[in-house]
Structure 1
Amino acid sequence: MRSLDRTAAFARAAELATLATSTRRAILGITGAPAAGKSTYAEELAAGLTTSGHRVALVPMDGYHLAQSALEELGIADVKGAPHTFDGAGYAALLRRLRDRTGETVWAPRFHRELEDSIAAAIGVGPEIDLVLTEGNYLLLDQEPWATARGSVDEIWYLELDDDTRHARLTARHQHFGRSAQEAHDRTFGSDERNAQLIAATKHLATATLSL
């Protein structure tokens, strides 16, 4: 498994963009534990590649969270973020559509933390896009439907961050979005940490590791 820094990662992402063909896009996945910095890094990478002239789109996995109302109806809202709280099959189908360039715009949902819900068809990926970046927790999970999703992705990088920093970020995030200090602590070291351990167990399947 390779180890990448920012410079090497940017160069490799740019190389992947050039490998797209008239019928197939390149797809690069970025995974890691909750609050490892996946979203921030993916946004920075997409912006940098676009500035450099590459045709790139960012499509996060989080858009496939089940709706908050559905989670509550199912009785699983307290573990939101676990694998079974996503429409993984829908995400896998989206990646297949993104991979195969058909000349049509593909529309994907976007998750809004302030709403705790996704908005459908909020991200448009036009036929000109060569490289799709996607980031999320379970890109390497070796069970269905995530394994099927992984089959559409050319490379998946595992983003590493020390646990103390990650825990502090998670706790602050939960408080920012309305949880009390105790609720934030319990969520960070409860369901979030169980998810983090599950994700860490998939690290060996990554194409490369990335430390920022």
Structure 2
Amino acid sequence: MMSANEIAEALAKDILAAPRSGKRKLIALAGPPASGKTTLSWGLADLLSQAGHRTAVVPMDGFHLDNRILADLDLLHRKGAPETFDAAGVLRLAQALPNADRVFYPTFDRDEDFSRAGAGMVDDACDCVVIEGNYLLYDAPIWKDLHPLWDVSIRLDVPHDILRERLFQRWIDFGLSPQDAERRAVNNDMVNVEAIANRALPATITICAEASTNAP
């Protein structure tokens, strides 16, 4: 079983060898919730930076729609589903990142369950960007327009039983009761897991991660 660091090391060579379409190399790291995207994205960024290619990590989670909007749309119970993100905003960001001198992007505060506008920045010294998120390789309107923008795309494939255990534990850690944690994991998160699996676009590299990463 490979650790997240071992997976990152195996991926780094292929990423460095891949051609780029702009002045920055754009790397998509896609996978279902609780697949380990966060740990792997930062591991990759560290390795690429050590190799002389300064790399930033840009999480897609900053594009969560605000809870007030989700409540108005009767989508708060589905937060994390594709329709609860600003997909057009993700697309505009991905289009800007390869060549813009400086790019600002929103970040997500998981503890506060709140997105912060303009809280992240990719500066002109950045050579590569790892974008991580659930729907970066998702075959649906707007989302699918991201696919041709990636210089390298990586999919994390984790067995659903492992994802369900991790998601249950995630909500326990956030203070939900076992019953509410199970309901949230099964009725929302695992529905999204199935949607991602059923509408997946091709990736440059697919990693069968199994239990190899521990990130949320």
TM-score, normalized by length of structure 2? Answer: 0.87
Count of residues paired in the alignment: 204
Q: CA deviation at 1:24?
A: 3.1
Describe the SS at the equivalent of 1:29. Answer: strand
> Structure 2: which 5+ residue stretches go unaligned?
1-5, 210-216
Conserved 8 A contact 2:8-2:43: no
Alignment of 1:26-65 (within 5 A): 26-65=25-64
Describe the SS at the equivalent of 2:13. Answer: helix
Q: CA deviation at 1:45?
A: 1.2
Describe the SS at the equivalent of 1:149. Answer: helix
Q: 2:71 is matched by which residue type in structure 1?
A: E
Conserved 8 A contact 2:8-2:40: no
Counterpart of 1:13? Answer: 15
Q: 1:50 is matched by which residue type in structure 2?
A: S
Alignment of 1:176-191 (within 5 A): 176-191=173-188
Identity of aligned residues (%): 35
Alignment of 1:57-96 (within 5 A): 57-96=56-95
Conserved 8 A contact 1:20-1:130: no
4+ aligned runs moved over 4 Å, structure 1? none
RMSD after superposition: 1.9
Q: Distance in 2 between matches of 1:197 and 1:67?
A: 24
Describe the SS at the equivalent of 1:28. Answer: strand
Q: 1:20 to 1:127 in 2, by over 3 A?
A: farther
Q: Distance in 1 between matches of 2:41 and 2:199?
A: 20
Conserved 8 A contact 1:109-1:119: yes
Counterpart of 1:166? Answer: 163
Describe the SS at the equivalent of 1:144. Answer: coil
* Aligned pair partner of 2:204 in 198, 202, 207: 207
Counterpart of 2:140? Answer: 143
Q: Distance in 2 between matches of 1:98 and 1:10?
A: 20
1:113 to 2:110 alignment: yes
Q: 1:204 to 1:150 in 2, by over 3 A?
A: closer
Q: CA deviation at 1:204?
A: 5.5
